[in-house]
């Protein structure tokens, strides 16, 4: 029944070792988001896709990249993780981006640890 699926649930990586987090959706939504959330803080938007159009937040570090090969999948690549990148990463989707009353559907998140 899960509609937004994130894998893995927990990810441990080493300092500087590239890591990829994945997200898939069964909702056929055209918008997909990646958020970073640290210790009970508000989710911070990193970037989002509206269909294939990539939108990067101005303060998202270059260390973070994303790919969306098709409607269903979206990936978050961290090229050289630092200790400060340890966080929960949340994927979310919404439909009809032009309709601003649409709610977001979130995955369960990937908890990233950097050793």
Partner 1 sequence: AQSVAQPEDQVNVAEGNPLTVKCTYSVSGNPYLFWYVQYPNRGLQFLLKYITGDNLVKGSYGFEAEFNKSQTSFHLKKPSALVSDSALYFCAVRDTRGSYIPTFGRGTSLIVHP
**Chain residues in the site for partner 1 (CB under 8 A):** 4, 6, 31, 33, 40-43, 45, 48, 88, 90, 92, 94, 97-109, 111
Nearer to partner 1, 35 or 81 (CB): 35
What is the Cα–Cα distance from 107 to 6, expressed in whole angstroms? 6
**Contact at 8 Å (CB) between 6 and 20?**
no
Nearest to 43 by CA among 6, 91, 7: 91
Q: Smallest distance from the beta carbon of 115 to partner 1, in angstroms?
A: 19
Nearer to partner 1, 86 or 97 (CB): 97
């Amino acid at each position: 029944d899960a509609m937004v699926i994130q894998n893995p649930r927990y990810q441990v990586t080493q300092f500087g070792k590239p890591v990829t987090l994945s997200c898939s959706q069964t909702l056929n939504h055209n918008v997909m988001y990646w958020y970073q959330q640290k210790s009970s803080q508000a989710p911070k938007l990193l970037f989002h896709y509206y269909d294939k159009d990539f939108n990067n937040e101005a303060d998202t570090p270059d260390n973070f990249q994303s790919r969306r090969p098709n409607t269903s999948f979206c990936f978050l690549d961290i090229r050289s993780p630092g200790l400060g990148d340890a966080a929960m990463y949340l994927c979310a989707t919404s439909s009809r981006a032009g309709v601003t009353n649409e709610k977001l559907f979130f995955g369960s998140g990937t908890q990233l640890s950097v050793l």
